[in-house]
Structure 1
Amino acid sequence: MPNTLSPITLTDNVELSTNIVIAVLLVVLLLTFRKSQRTDIFPIPVTEELKGFGILTVVFAHFAYMKVTNPDFLFPLSIIAGVGVDLFLVMSGYGLTVSMLKKPMSTLDFYKRRVIKIFIPFWVALIIIFAADAIFLGITYPLPYMVQSLFGWFPTAVGFGDVNSPFWYITWMLMFYILYPIFFSAKRPWLTAIVLAVIATLIGTYNPLNLGDNWLHRLHTVAFSIGIVLAWLLQESKDKENKLVTAIKEFRNNSNLLRCIIVVAMIAVVGYMSLHTTANHWPTLTSILGQGFYVDQFTSIVIMLALMIIFSLKKFDNKFLAIYGIYSFEVYLIHWPLIGRYDVFFDFLPSWAAVIVWMISFIILSILLQKIVKPISAWVDKIAK
């Protein structure tokens, strides 16, 4: 595989550029808050916002640690990409389980209706990337690599070598999607969660498939299962009241002071834990768990759960996060090849301006990608019925 490109070194004021990006982001967030009309605990708008938050953490990290050579760039926006990955996995496990509890489907139907929905935009994006690299950059890939890529097999995550290094997540996510319907139990979703968490932890810990960048997989072995458990705990039916859901709703609607205190406390947890995510900050915990990557995963999960509490208790929706959430998968599919191989903005603009222009470009291009994918998905759905 080619490795003809390399990171860039910023020549402008890193601290000033970072502060400008943070300031612009805060202004956009503040201007796009709206009072929420929702009554559910974990409705679609909240899950979209969490996915939006998640993809932003990933994008900022790739700007800071892969695009440029200065880790101070975009700090602290860039330091919790792992939390973003966990949020995606939680939302996947949650969404699939909510759907399966409402309308169970066979393993074959699940593959036709759920797994194919991942592959269609993935295939479209991947084919475009392969073609663009060959046409515009003269970069070609070995045929076996291209074939394994189309099957979603990405054992490595080489920043400037693989066709799209963030695609290691595709392989990991597909594992959960393939195993999920096999082990799913509508009566005992918690058991499904345990089985999948054990399998993922064993694969992540011992790396039986000899994955080249297995260190990424072992950091995200239980988040998908947490999503399954969350859907099980919040399950509602017309015949039986869910006392947990009722209690949370009453608390959110009536306990304003305590709710605000909890939200502030969770913000403090997110802030503190984000600055202390690695195992070397928690020697006692490392000695208990035995492996540093278990500690790294634990800290990521704590931050993620704190964020989920904040988002579920807040009484305001955010349009900016929701938009990024709606197009989060498309942004994930295209953002790294664009900034890694097709960047022109960092060459001609201050780094803060380049980031902002790219953030706008990601959404525009994601909308275009979704427009290409929609008719294909509709046609596949028609065939699958």
Structure 2
Amino acid sequence: MINSIQALRGIAAFGVVYSHANGVIRKRYSELGLTDPIWEIEQGWSKFGGGVGVDLFLLLSGFIIFYTGWNKQQDFTQFLTKRFSRIFPIWWVALLGVIAISLIPGSSSTFNLYEILTSFLLIPISQGGEYQKPILEVGWALHYIVAFYIIYAFFSKLDSLKALKLITLFLLSCTLAGLLYSIDAGIWTVLTNPRMLSYAVGGWMAYWYINGSIQWSKKLSFFTYSFIAIMSYMFIFQNDWRSGIPLTVNRVPIAAAILFLVLFNPRISKIPLPKFLVAFGGSSYSIYLFHMFPLMIISGIWKREIFLPSTPPLLTWFILILIGVLAGLAAYFIVEKPLQKIRAPLLFSKLGKFKLKIGDQSRRLGS
């Protein structure tokens, strides 16, 4: 994997923690005795990190899948087995943690069997015309990733460029269909959401990167940096722009421009990256899933006005970020790394035995 991409994954994960830590302070604004209203309402600078961070995750998923699989025709089942074995086991551990917390006396969280089952399988659902997040809410992004993996798998045996074109056309068609038709179904909400186009954008960047299609220049550098600066300023400081314009216009282009800059600016690619930052990117999935656990517990404690901090809000915010990141890193070493060693060999060995049995039966029938 490209080191700068790994580092960018880590930065994206940090942005999500940064935003959610601020969310805890806003949620417990009155209990913490804060008087400045900037801590009561979500501000542009607090939303920016989490929003752009998630957008980067989606773009990076598209880039990584196309980049690592370019001109490597893959079997539908093998591809999904490999990708799902990466996503689901850790996700299930995280869900079990949420369920365990909900069983603690005094917890306000309650889940029914239907919510638990659809969350475990990452099946998007809709209730009363509203899309419902999984019981661990950060899992909403996994709905989109799973949908993309299934779409990609259908085209995985084609030439990569042809597959990219067809997937782009399919996602554009879904987006258009979502504008024309409204269907009360979770999977429809996911497939027709314009953010699905992020995977196609990431795929095209992989194509340009592999083929050396982008020739960097001073003009391109000036345009890219200026675009990021102007769009970021508009999102952070212009409330009407941030809240009144679709995220595919006001936010996703920022993440796309950042990825474009990191991939194609040769000066950035030559910057020596600290090993810890690259490693941080490798643990980004665990950080994304598990950083909320200590934040949820701390929020519940503050709700009961226990152990309220006396530190300034900025310092409190920093401490919450640190706690969230450390929780994610701990989950990476305790949960994700051990699962990485056992999940793929186990699943592939079972898949191989299954295919062998099918092959034997076919030969018997043929004879």
TM-score range, shorter chain: 0.7 to 0.9
Distance 1:275 1:215 in 2: 27
8 A Cα contact 1:270 1:307, kept in partner? no
Relative distance call for 1:217 and 1:119 in structure 2 (3 A) is farther
1:148 maps to 118
Alignment match of 2:79 (pick from 88, 107, 110): 110
Relative distance call for 1:219 and 1:191 in structure 2 (3 A) is closer
Amino acid at match of 2:290: I
8 A Cα contact 1:55 1:331, kept in partner? yes
1:265 maps to 226
Relative distance call for 1:227 and 1:141 in structure 2 (3 A) is same
2:271 maps to 316
Distance 1:183 1:277 in 2: 41
Q: When the two structures are superposed, what TM-score results if normalisation uses the length of structure 2?
A: 0.72
Relative distance call for 1:214 and 1:58 in structure 2 (3 A) is farther
1:379 maps to 342
8 A Cα contact 1:270 1:306, kept in partner? no
Relative distance call for 1:56 and 1:78 in structure 2 (3 A) is farther
Give the unaligned 5+ runs of structure 1. Answer: 1-42, 236-241, 283-291
- Structure 1 position 332, deviation (Å): 1.6
- Structure 1 position 126, deviation (Å): 1.0
Distance 2:120 2:138 in 1: 15
- Secondary structure at the aligned position of 1:105 is classed as coil
2:164 maps to 190
Distance 2:167 2:74 in 1: 18
1:300 maps to 251
Percent identity, please. Answer: 20
1:174 maps to 146
Which structure has the larger Rg?
2
Where do 1:38-187 residues align within 5 Å? 44-65=2-23, 68-69=26-27, 70=39, 75-79=44-48, 81-135=50-104, 137-138=106-107, 139-155=109-125, 163-184=135-156, 185-187=158-160
Relative distance call for 1:265 and 1:134 in structure 2 (3 A) is same
- Structure 1 position 89, deviation (Å): 1.0
Distance 1:80 1:102 in 2: 34
Q: When the two structures are superposed, what TM-score results if normalisation uses the length of structure 1?
A: 0.69
- Structure 1 position 116, deviation (Å): 1.9
- Structure 1 position 81, deviation (Å): 3.3
Relative distance call for 1:156 and 1:76 in structure 2 (3 A) is farther
Relative distance call for 1:379 and 1:299 in structure 2 (3 A) is same
Alignment match of 1:275 (pick from 193, 213, 236): 236
Relative distance call for 1:103 and 1:378 in structure 2 (3 A) is farther
Relative distance call for 1:46 and 1:377 in structure 2 (3 A) is same
Distance 2:205 2:94 in 1: 31
- Secondary structure at the aligned position of 1:347 is classed as coil
1:74-129 C-alpha deviation (Å, 9 max, x unpaired): 75243353322221111111111122215331000011111221111111111122
Amino acid at match of 1:178: I
Q: Which segments of structure 1 move beyond 6 Å, counting only runs of 4 or more?
A: none
Distance 1:124 1:305 in 2: 31
- Structure 1 position 200, deviation (Å): 4.5
